[in-house]
Amino acid sequence: MPTNILIVEDEEPLTLLLRYNLESEGYSVESVARGDEAETRLREKVPDLLLLDWMLPGLSGIELCRRLRARPETERMPILMLTARGEETERVRGLATGADDYVVKPFSVPELVARVRALLRRAKPDHISTLLRAGDIELDRETKRVHRSGRELHLGPTEFRLLEFLMQSPGRVYSREQLLDGVWGQDVYIDERTVDVHVGRLRKALNRPRQPDPIRTVRGSGYSFNEMFARTH
């Protein structure tokens, strides 16, 4: 059974963005837009992780978090709070109320996904999503294998990490510098054009004649995993 995540957020565009990226990670995602509705929903079913906005209609996220920590059924449920409040005193208040982590808007979606994964790893080691799926491509983090249309692809370690990084946020454009930091690490000093070499190798492994290329080149900017490919295949 896939890991279930509940999003409690009243900004619909943000909810759609989070749902799309988390579902691309293999999670089962549900959402509600009001704090009081979330409280009712959480009495019926407890998710594996809660993404909770601070400011909500009906019942504030901070009050909902406090109530959830007072209930035996939800006292250990991982809660990641989303908020526009970036002051240190507010972060301390959120964490003191019972949130396990705290992300300030606007935030990086890959960073948020990484924080979700880290929270689940600590709270529910058996519930980590190991499969990434987009279009006809499937990447297994555990076995380090990649398949496209049922055909196993043979990728080098760097190409595997590069594909994994891009698939986490379809449609997002990454500069070469961002890809170097995300795939190679911030402490590695290599030429940015190295990214082009590995993208070329990845494309060669992914694509057969007449197959659409899932890697999109954005002239002057960088690369992204084609969002339309992920949606339509």
Q: Tens digit of pLDDT for each residue in 22-53?
A: 888 878 899 999 999 999 999 999 999 999 99
Contact 168, 25 (CB under 8 A): yes
pLDDT at 122: 80
Given pLDDT bands bounded at 50, 70 and 90, which one contains residue 159? very high
Q: Cβ neighbours of residue 140 under 8 Å, at least 6 residues apart?
A: 130, 131, 146
CA angle 119, 120, 121 (to 5 degrees): 90
Q: What is the mean pLDDT of residues 165-182?
A: 83
Q: Which pTM value belongs to this model?
A: 0.57
In whole angstroms, give the CA distance from residue 220 to residue 201.
20
- pLDDT digit string (tens) for 179-206? 887 788 756 677 888 899 999 999 999 9
Identify the CA nearest to 77 among candidates 94, 113, 101.
101
How many residues are given for the chain? 233
Q: Cβ neighbours of residue 99 under 8 Å, at least 6 residues apart?
A: 52, 65, 79, 80, 81
Q: What's the token pair of residue 3?
A: 């890991």
Q: What's the token pair of residue 141?
A: 């983090």
Q: What's the token pair of residue 233?
A: 């295949």
pLDDT at 109: 86
Mean pLDDT across the chain, nearest whole number? 86
Identify the CA nearest to 159 among candidates 196, 130, 123.
196
Q: For residue 214, what is the DSSP state?
A: -
What percent of the chain is modeled with pLDDT above 70?
A: 88
Greater pLDDT, 173 or 200: 200
Q: What is the mean pLDDT of residues 11-17?
A: 93
Contact 175, 168 (CB under 8 A): no
- pLDDT digit string (tens) for 89-130? 666 766 778 889 888 888 888 888 888 988 888 876 555 567
